[in-house]
Structure 1
């Protein structure tokens, strides 16, 4: 199936009223008003950059805490391990959580989206991503704090909600015709076409029947802030999504796919969108059928392109 690119956004429109508390996307200009009196937990997922300056009160929660091992970075973190992490970060269910990444590229947004997806699947409901992250914060001339925050440990009982998760067997069942779903490859076209592969993927190529909707399609050229999805009907039509039909977003390691998931599920409000966390790294390491796999000669040539 031929890859396509389609931009489903019209930029970030100015808001005319107070956004809802559970709005998944928070603009820097709205931050002070939206968080006033709400005592949000601010998770800074940048890692070492936290020490160089962060939003006052933010807790350091490096992205790596929400990722799998080197051989399968997209792999789900065990629930008991996530629970321990959340408790160490002082997370509680009755406080809003704002996720802050660097925001310096459309690639970086995937980190915030993946953390958002992980928290939502863990039962947290009042979640938002700071659009543009610390890059937008700095461009707005807002203050930085260099005092590290020591969170008060919490006590949680976490269970994983599978409503937004697809696993390898489920994806293989779609390929085999045993399950119905629209498969969406969030990678740049060169990955989808088999011209490039992740360093720990066993094979280049994509999942048979998948359509290509690169994560960057949801960003205006040169922007590091994601756009609102305004033409939802056009998006669904382009991908062939029927109302209520299952959609599975994947990439190499569930990073870019998290952006597509966030845009389709949280911004466009499309029901039944799932993220395949292990994505092509995990899928390529199985014996399952793949598409767009280059021949031996083409594979050798691709290594020198």
Structure 2
């Protein structure tokens, strides 16, 4: 399996490891995450002073991890008609500066943790930050629910971050675009397409409110995001994540593209396969089916009524 550049440098040239992370931060090793238990984070708050981003929105005011900065999930999402759309780089950079994010400070992401769907928000923020060049990232396993269950301290006092001057280094290494996906559907390139939605969406029985039509990508496999959880909200271990992936034939050299409706559930599948299972070349189709359904590209599992309307419009 491909090893990140940081691992190679650590084995061969220990003295050059820090320099390597500066030259190519997007490929450095993550020694802080990708997951961190509440108790472990509590200990690190004293020792390493990581930045904690609370993405829960209004719930932040009701009680949060002491010192955490409020960073509502909406700041990392696209417009209402295409929520999965990647935020423009200059806008994202301004957001991260306002939150006090820096390249060298470990960063923990806190979600509510009350459902497996909620984890997708943390995974999408993680993916966004990793794609921006940050390397020391972690999601709090079980979120705020797990933190409170362990009777760890909370605060209602807001934290005002010190603005940073971060210059992000965006990479498309973990991104699949609509053009990329359309090329796979047309047979012009190869990738394994993985639909992270519940079966009802995959089968075309349900669709997102912003989607133009129900259905999925032709040739896609259905790997519902909820399979990567135990006890509802805690993620599976690496061995189990690899086993789930291998069961579907995903642990191969072919690129894997995870998608859903808006890149939310798909972020969970991406995180589980890429960060937990350690599979290389896993990509997130950020726009997902809401974005794809607005094109005239071929879809599968489209109900007959919708297909008839499409045929009338396209003349097929």
Query: For this structure pair, what is the TM-score category when the shorter chain's length is used for normalisation?
Result: 0.7 to 0.9
Deviation of 1:230 (Å): 1.1
Counterpart of 1:210 in structure 2 is 220
Query: For 1:163, what is the secondary structure of its paired residue?
Result: coil
The one of 100, 103, 106 aligned to 1:96: 106
Query: For 1:33, what is the secondary structure of its paired residue?
Result: helix
2:245–2:273 CA contact under 8 A, matched in 1: no
Query: For 2:154, what is the secondary structure of its paired residue?
Result: coil
Deviation of 1:39 (Å): 1.2
Counterpart of 1:257 in structure 2 is 266
User: Which has the higher mean CA deviation after the structures are superposed, 113-122 or 290-299?
Assistant: 290-299
Q: 1:280, 1:63 → 2: CA distance?
A: 20
The one of 124, 140, 160 aligned to 1:130: 140
Query: For 1:174, what is the secondary structure of its paired residue?
Result: helix
1:21–1:34 CA contact under 8 A, matched in 2: no
2:44–2:50 CA contact under 8 A, matched in 1: no
Dislocated runs of 4+, deviation >4 Å: none
**Correspondence 1:199 to 2:209:** yes
Bigger proportion of residues as helix: 2
Unaligned runs of 5+ in 2: 1-29, 309-316
Give the alignment's TM-score, normalised by structure 1: 0.88
Deviations 1:179-230 (A, max 9, x none): 110000000000000000001100100000000000000112x421111131
Counterpart of 1:50 in structure 2 is 60
Query: For 1:65, what is the secondary structure of its paired residue?
Result: helix
Counterpart of 2:179 in structure 1 is 169
Deviation of 1:153 (Å): 0.5
Counterpart of 1:14 in structure 2 is none
Query: For 2:103, what is the secondary structure of its paired residue?
Result: coil
Unaligned runs of 5+ in 1: 1-19, 300-305
The one of 273, 276, 279 aligned to 1:270: 279
- Change in CA separation of 1:169 and 1:261 when aligned onto 2, cut-off 3 Å: same
Counterpart of 2:300 in structure 1 is 291
Count of residues paired in the alignment: 279
- Change in CA separation of 1:38 and 1:179 when aligned onto 2, cut-off 3 Å: same
Query: For 1:54, what is the secondary structure of its paired residue?
Result: coil
- Structure number with greater CO (CA < 8 Å, separation at least 6) is 1
Q: 1:290, 1:109 → 2: CA distance?
A: 28
Counterpart of 2:239 in structure 1 is 230
Q: 1:237, 1:47 → 2: CA distance?
A: 36
Query: For 1:235, what is the secondary structure of its paired residue?
Result: helix
- Change in CA separation of 1:157 and 1:267 when aligned onto 2, cut-off 3 Å: same
Q: 2:240, 2:54 → 1: CA distance?
A: 31
The one of 174, 192, 196 aligned to 1:182: 192
The one of 58, 83, 88 aligned to 2:93: 83
The one of 160, 165, 173 aligned to 1:150: 160
Q: 2:143, 2:251 → 1: CA distance?
A: 33
User: Which has the higher mean CA deviation after the structures are superposed, 228-237 or 49-58?
Assistant: 228-237
Q: 1:115, 1:231 → 2: CA distance?
A: 23
Deviations 1:13-70 (A, max 9, x none): xxxxxxx832201111322334442110000000111111110000000000000000
